[in-house]
């Protein structure tokens, strides 16, 4: 049976230079809470892509984030109110 992947930690932080940031060596994603819902899906998918596929170039990770976000949005995924 395949080993379970290491859990990716998500931290909310007001960022100044990007909506999100991935720290591949720490399995950590920082996301800016000021994003709208659709942007959040795209940025979160993009940053997770960096952690799961660290060897893949930025342009392909960008496409991956956009495609995953589009599918999730169309099937109804939205941010939960806390």
Interatomic CA distance for residues 8 and 50, integer angstroms: 11
Task: Say what the pLDDT of residue 35 is.
Answer: 95
Query: Mean pLDDT throughout 62-81?
Result: 93
Task: Say what the pLDDT of residue 82 is.
Answer: 57
Alpha carbon 39 to chain centroid distance? 10
Mean per-residue pLDDT of the chain: 94
The separation between the first and the last C-alpha atoms of the chain, rounded to the nearest angstrom, is: 36
Report which of residues 4 and 58 the model is more confident about: 58
- For the chain, the DSSP string reads -PPPPPPPEEEE---SS-SEEEEGGGTEEEE-TTS-HHHHHHHHHHHHHHHH-TTS-HHHHHHHHHHHHHHHHHTT--PPP-
């Amino acid at each position: 049976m395949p080993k379970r992947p290491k859990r990716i930690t998500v931290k909310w932080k007001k960022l100044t230079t990007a909506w999100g940031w991935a720290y591949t060596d720490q399995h950590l994603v920082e996301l800016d809470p000021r994003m709208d819902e659709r942007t959040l899906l795209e940025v979160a998918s993009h940053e997770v892509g960096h952690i799961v596929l660290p060897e893949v170039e930025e342009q392909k990770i960008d496409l991956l984030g956009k495609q995953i976000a589009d599918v999730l949005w169309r099937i109804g995924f939205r941010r939960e109110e806390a």
